[in-house]
């Protein structure tokens, strides 16, 4: 990657119908490999609570921990677009979200912050956007709400919830969201959201009809303890090196080969 990836870069890629690759990272060494392999977007996900810290959910992750890992990733990737998750309750009010998002950008080097939720975060998205902080809205399965959901399951299967998600995507975009991420929704719903959205849409466990895919890096490498999500794939198997595995992921995403039928939720 020779030039910096920006939101304008991603919008131009969407307009051309060209897919971009997104992956999580939590440290400088992996971030450098991702950038060298052609990954356009790195997400410092609160998934770090599970794959780095060993928690059973993302809920315990703090804003200070997220800033630390974001800063580490920025040190290893000068040109990749860097998104950081807003951890659980760090965006409980628009004013608190503004303060914490500013820290993620000033102290961590994030260029975009990601917030989970639909209608409940509209005022926050609008405030952040008005103050010059780019936002990625996260819809579908919301891992920070696991204690309410009870389990990690597909969202938007029935007509009513699918329509609600479609409307929330429109509303978040109208409020100023620069990106959308949909997690664990049926492929048909992902396609509908992607087609209606002018902003780039990133999917995880949500079919192939979107502008980008994201995976947790440790799932991609097959080193996450326990059961691997159905929508993930062990790219390290058969590739011989971490670098080759990530490069193959990038190739398959851009070619539209990943996710394949076995990873897609109908």
Q: Summarize the confidence of residues 80-105 as an average pLDDT.
A: 98
CA–CA dist 203, 155 (Å, integer): 13
pLDDT of 1 > 60? The answer is no
167 counts as catalytic: no
What pLDDT was estimated at residue 149? 66
Where are the domains positioned within the chain? 7-263
- Selection from 85, 183, 97, 194 nearest residue 136 by Cα: 85
Instruction: Tell me which fold the domain 7-263 belongs to.
Output: TIM Barrel (3.20.20)
- 261 confidence band (pLDDT: 50, 70, 90): confident
pTM (2 d.p.): 0.96
Give the H/E segment covering residue 181. Answer: strand 179-183
Q: For 106-136, what is each residue's pLDDT tens digit?
A: 999 999 999 999 999 999 999 999 999 999 9
Give residue-wise pLDDT tens across range 150-190.
656 788 889 999 999 999 999 999 999 999 999 999 999 99
Would you mind telling me the total number of residues written for the chain in this entry?
Answer: 266
Q: Write down the pLDDT at residue 103.
A: 98
Catalytic residue among 35, 40, 183, 248: 183
pLDDT at 9: 98
């Amino acid at each position: 990657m020779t030039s910096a990836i920006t939101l304008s870069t991603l919008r131009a890629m969407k307009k051309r119908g060209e897919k971009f690759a997104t992956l999580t990272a939590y440290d400088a060494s992996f971030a450098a490999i991702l950038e060298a392999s052609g990954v356009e977007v790195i997400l410092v996900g609160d998934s770090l609570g599970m794959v780095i810290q060993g928690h059973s959910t993302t809920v315990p992750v703090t804003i200070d921990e997220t800033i630390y890992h974001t800063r580490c990733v920025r040190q290893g990737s000068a040109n990749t677009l860097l998104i950081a998750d807003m951890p659980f309750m760090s965006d409980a009010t628009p004013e608190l979200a503004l303060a914490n998002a500013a820290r993620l950008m000033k102290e961590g080097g994030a260029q975009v912050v990601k917030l989970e939720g639909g209608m409940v975060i509209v005022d926050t998205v609008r405030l952040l956007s008005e103050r010059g902080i780019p936002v990625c809205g996260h819809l579908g399965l919301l891992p920070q709400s696991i204690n309410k959901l009870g389990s990690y399951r597909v969202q938007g299967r029935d007509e009513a919830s699918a329509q609600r998600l479609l409307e929330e995507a429109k509303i978040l975009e109208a409020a100023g969201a620069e990106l959308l991420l949909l997690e664990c929704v049926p492929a048909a719903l992902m396609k509908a959201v992607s087609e209606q959205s002018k902003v780039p849409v990133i999917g995880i466990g949500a079919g192939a009809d979107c502008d980008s895919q994201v995976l947790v890096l440790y799932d991609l490498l097959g080193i996450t303890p326990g059961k691997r999500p159905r929508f993930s794939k062990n790219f390290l198997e058969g590739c011989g090196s971490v670098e080759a595995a990530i490069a193959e992921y990038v190739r398959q995403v851009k070619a539209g080969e990943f996710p394949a039928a076995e990873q897609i939720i109908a």
